[in-house]
Amino acid sequence: MFKVLFQPDNVVVEVEAQSTLLQAADKAELPLNVTCGGKGTCGKCLVRVLKGDYLLRDDTVLGKAEIPACQAVVLSDIEVEIPQETKLVKHKVLIQKDNLLAEKELDLLAGYKFNPLVRRYEVTLPEPSLTENATDLNRLLVELKKHVSCSEIKIFLPALRKLAYALRDGEWNVSVDVAHIEGYGEIIDILPGKSKTDLYGLAIDIGTTTVVVFLIDLLTGSVIDKRGTYNKQAKYGDDVISRMICADEEEDGLQELQQAVLNSINELISEILVNHPHVERDFIKLVVCAGNTTMTHLLLALHPKYIRLEPYIPTAAQFPAVKIKDLGLPLYGEGLVINIPSIASYVGGDIIAGALAVGIEKTDELTLFIDIGTNGEMVLGNSDWLISCACSAGPAFEGGGITFGMRAMRGAIERIEIDNDFEVVYETIENEKAVGICGSGLIDGLSKLHSSGLIDRTGKFQTDISTNRLRQGDDGSEFVLVWAKEGGINKDIIITESDIKNLLRAKGAIFAGIRSMLKLVALEIYVIDKVLIAGGFGNYLNLDDSIKIGLLPDLDRNRYQFVGNTSVKGAQAVLLSTDAYQQSLELSKKVTYLELSVGNTFMEEFVSATFIPHTDLTLFPSLIK
C-alpha cells in the first residue's frame, strides 16, 4: 500500500501497488476530468507529481510537467497536484441571462390529472364473524375495489404478511398503498388505521453525464427537494458508446456500471435525507427513472451490447417494473422502480419524458422538440403524428474533441464577443478565471469567428488577417481566446481549425436530422410552429448565434422556447399521474422512429449543413437581410 497525497485539497488515500493516480483520485473522491474512460487517449486527466516515484505506461508523455493520471502507476508514497482544469467540479446551477431565453416553467403534471402511480387508500372493513368469515385478503379486496379502478389487484407476500396485524391494530381501518401499473393495481404496503406516515416518490433523470433526483410528496404532489450530481459512470467513459464497450469488454463491467449509477442515485438520496430528517427511507415507495436507452439498460443490468452493434437492437423498449429491493436501492424494498419506456436504441425514455413534459402529444401546433447532447435526439409532430430520430452530433457541444472544450462548469467560457480589432471579450461561469470553453461558448465563438471574418463558410481561418491572436500552432491555424496571463491554467486558451471542423460536424448533424424528419413527411422548415429545446445545454444557448451558424432553423425567434431538463420533469409527471404513465407507454409504441443510417437522405443533408450556415442560404432568409 502506498500513500497518495493530493494537492491543493490536501487529501490522502492509501492505494494498492499497481494502482494508477486516476484510481487513487477516484478513491480520494476527487473525480478527474476524463472523457476516454482512462485509456490514455483524451489527455484530460493531467496532474503534476510534486514528490515520489511513478511509472508511465505511455512513454510519449515522458518528461512533460503534467502527466495523465490514468497512465501513471504509483511506485512509492507520492504527492500530486491536481490543476484546476483537471478537476471535475460540480455542475453549475442553471442561470438565466438577459439575452438568453429564460427556461419556460412547465406544468408539474404536464397537463395530466393528479393520480400518482402510488396512491394511498384509507378503507374501513366490516368486522368478521363466524358467519361472515371471508379471509382478511378477500375482505380487503372487496372494499378496495370500490376505490381502485383497476380490473385486478395483486399483492405479494411481504405486504400480505402485514395484513392480519394491520387490520386488527387499526380496528378494521387500514391505509393501503397501491401502485397502478400495467393495467393492474399492486398493493405494496398496508398500514394500520388512518396512517399518518408520509408517502414519497423519486423522479430521477439518469443522464449520461449527470443524475438529477427530485423528492416528491405523493400525497400532495409537492416537490420537496431537487439534487443533481455527476453520473459516476463517467470514469468508464464519457459517452454511451464507451460505456457500452466497457460493459462488453471489462470483466464485471456491466455490474460496475450498474453500481456506479446506483451509487450516484444513492449519494443524492442521502444528501436529500440529511436535509429532510422527517423523511424516512421506508416512506419512499416509488422511483420513476427517465434515461436514454443505454442508461436504462445499464441501470437494470440489461446488456447494452446490441444497442451498439448494427442493426442497433436494444433488449427492450418497455421495461418491467422492478421491486426497489431487487435493484438494491436502500428505500422501501417492496416499492417499485418504473423506467420510462424508450422508442429505439438511441431515442430513450428521457426523450419520451421530454415529449410528455412539453405536451407534444396533445398540441395541434407542429412542434419540434430537440434535446442536444452527445446525440441530438428530436421528436417532430403534434397530436396526430410523431416522428423521432437521433443524430450522432458527437460530444463537441459537451466539450469533447475540442482542445479546450469542457462541460458547463466553473471557469468555463460561456459567452464570447470579438470586436473589430479582433480582441475578445468573454464571460465565464461564476466569473472565475477561464479554464476552458463550454458548449454555449463554442457556439458564440464559432458565430463570432465567422461574423468577424476570421473564418469562412467552410470554417477555414483567413490567415491573411493580421492579429497576434491568429497564429500557426502544432496542428495548423489557431485563434487565441484567452492569453495565459489572464486565464486560470497558465497557458493560452485557443480554438483550432480542427476544433471548428468538429463543431461544424456537430451542428450539421443536428440540422440534417431536422431536415430528414421534415422530408419524411414532405414538409418545409417554415411550417414548424414551435421549437422546444431541452437539456442543460439549452440554458446557455444564444439563440441568434445558434441560428447564424446553422445549428437551428431560421424561424421567428418567438417560436423558440427553452424548456430545461425535461427528462426529470417528465419523470415527475409520470410519478404524479397514472394517465401520464399510460401515455408514456403509448408514446413508446406510437412514435415513428426514423433510422438515419438507412438511405442517403441524412448524409446528403449533413454534407450541406456542415457549411456556415448551410450550402442553401435560402433556408436562412433572416441572415440574408
Instruction: Identify residue 20 by its one-letter amino acid code.
Output: T
Report DSSP letters for 558-581, one per residue.
Answer: GGEEEEE-HHHHHHHHHHHBHHHH
What does the alpha-carbon distance between residue 236 and residue 421 come to, in Å, rounded to a whole number? 44
What does the alpha-carbon distance between residue 237 and residue 440 come to, in Å, rounded to a whole number? 23
Among positions 11, 94, 160, 521, the unique one binding a second copy when judged by CB under 8 A: 160
Shortest distance, position 208 Cβ to a second copy, whole Å: 20
Closest C-alpha among 349, 328, 335, 253 to residue 298: 253
164 scored as a contact of a second copy (CB under 8 A): yes
130 scored as a contact of a second copy (CB under 8 A): yes
Nearer to a second copy (CB atom), residue 328 or residue 476:
328
155 scored as a contact of a second copy (CB under 8 A): yes
328 scored as a contact of a second copy (CB under 8 A): no
Nearer to a second copy (CB atom), residue 48 or residue 325:
325
Q: Would you give the binding string for a second copy spanning residues 595-614, x where CB under 8 A is met? A: x-xx----------------
303 scored as a contact of a second copy (CB under 8 A): yes
220 scored as a contact of a second copy (CB under 8 A): no
Nearer to a second copy (CB atom), residue 73 or residue 160:
160
302 scored as a contact of a second copy (CB under 8 A): yes
Beta strand 530-534 with 560-564 is parallel
Give yes or no for a contact between 118 and 179, defined as CB atoms under 8 angstroms apart.
Answer: yes
Q: Name every residue whose Cβ is closer than 8 Å to that of residue 433 and which is 6 or more positions away in sequence.
A: 411, 486, 487, 488
322 scored as a contact of a second copy (CB under 8 A): yes
What does the alpha-carbon distance between residue 419 and residue 176 come to, in Å, rounded to a whole number? 66
Among positions 316, 465, 520, 521, the unique one binding a second copy when judged by CB under 8 A: 316
Give the number of residues in contact with a second copy, rule: CB under 8 A.
Answer: 46
49 scored as a contact of a second copy (CB under 8 A): no
Alpha carbon dihedral 346, 347, 350, 354, in 10-degree steps, equals 150
Nearer to a second copy (CB atom), residue 97 or residue 305:
305
317 scored as a contact of a second copy (CB under 8 A): yes
Residue 90 is inside which H or E element, if any? none
138 scored as a contact of a second copy (CB under 8 A): yes
Among positions 96, 124, 126, 156, the unique one binding a second copy when judged by CB under 8 A: 156
Among positions 310, 364, 464, 474, the unique one binding a second copy when judged by CB under 8 A: 310
Q: Which three cell numbers stand for residue 118?
A: 402510488
204 scored as a contact of a second copy (CB under 8 A): no
Among positions 10, 60, 129, 600, the unique one binding a second copy when judged by CB under 8 A: 129
What does the alpha-carbon distance between residue 229 and residue 264 come to, in Å, rounded to a whole number? 7
Phi, psi dihedrals of residue 371, rounded to the nearest 5°: -115, 110
Beta strand 2-7 with 78-81 is parallel
Beta strand 336-339 with 322-323 is antiparallel
Shortest distance, position 126 Cβ to a second copy, whole Å: 12
Nearer to a second copy (CB atom), residue 310 or residue 464:
310
What does the alpha-carbon distance between residue 243 and residue 299 come to, in Å, rounded to a whole number? 12
Give yes or no for a contact between 478 and 437, defined as CB atoms under 8 angstroms apart.
Answer: no
What does the alpha-carbon distance between residue 287 and residue 582 come to, in Å, rounded to a whole number? 16
What does the alpha-carbon distance between residue 210 and residue 536 come to, in Å, rounded to a whole number? 10
Among positions 64, 90, 161, 194, the unique one binding a second copy when judged by CB under 8 A: 161
Give yes or no for a contact between 265 and 339, defined as CB atoms under 8 angstroms apart.
Answer: no
* Window of 126-134, 466-474, 486-494, 519-527 that interacts with a second copy by CB under 8 A: 126-134
What does the alpha-carbon distance between residue 417 and residue 612 come to, in Å, rounded to a whole number? 18
526 scored as a contact of a second copy (CB under 8 A): no
137 scored as a contact of a second copy (CB under 8 A): yes
165 scored as a contact of a second copy (CB under 8 A): yes
Among positions 154, 227, 501, 559, the unique one binding a second copy when judged by CB under 8 A: 154
Nearer to a second copy (CB atom), residue 267 or residue 595:
595
Shortest distance, position 145 Cβ to a second copy, whole Å: 15
593 scored as a contact of a second copy (CB under 8 A): yes
Three-class DSSP labels, 449-516:
HHHCCCECCCCCECCCCCCCCEEEECCEEEEEEECCCCCCCCCCEEEEHHHHHHHHHHHHHHHHHHHH
Among positions 85, 103, 136, 554, the unique one binding a second copy when judged by CB under 8 A: 136
Nearer to a second copy (CB atom), residue 72 or residue 163:
163
299 scored as a contact of a second copy (CB under 8 A): no
Q: Which residues pair with 477 in a beta bridge?
A: 472
Shortest distance, position 138 Cβ to a second copy, whole Å: 7
Among positions 65, 93, 157, 522, the unique one binding a second copy when judged by CB under 8 A: 157
Give yes or no for a contact between 465 and 432, defined as CB atoms under 8 angstroms apart.
Answer: no
16 scored as a contact of a second copy (CB under 8 A): no
365 scored as a contact of a second copy (CB under 8 A): no
Give yes or no for a contact between 384 and 404, defined as CB atoms under 8 angstroms apart.
Answer: no
* Window of 129-137, 235-243, 409-417, 509-517 that interacts with a second copy by CB under 8 A: 129-137
CB atoms within 10 A of CB 266: 17
124 scored as a contact of a second copy (CB under 8 A): no
Length of the chain (residues): 625
128 scored as a contact of a second copy (CB under 8 A): yes
Q: Which three cell numbers stand for residue 5?
A: 497525497
Q: Would you give the binding string for a second copy spanning residues 174-193, x where CB under 8 A is met? A: ---------x----------
Q: Would you give the binding string for a second copy spanning residues 341-360, x where CB under 8 A is met? A: ---xx---------------
308 scored as a contact of a second copy (CB under 8 A): no
3-state secondary structure of 376: strand
* Window of 18-26, 93-101, 158-166, 530-538 that interacts with a second copy by CB under 8 A: 158-166
Among positions 10, 60, 131, 600, the unique one binding a second copy when judged by CB under 8 A: 131
311 scored as a contact of a second copy (CB under 8 A): yes
What does the alpha-carbon distance between residue 542 and residue 449 come to, in Å, rounded to a whole number? 15
Q: What residues line the site for a second copy (CB under 8 A)? A: 128-131, 133-138, 152, 154-157, 160-161, 163-165, 168, 183, 300-303, 305-306, 310-318, 320, 322, 326, 344-345, 593, 595, 597-598
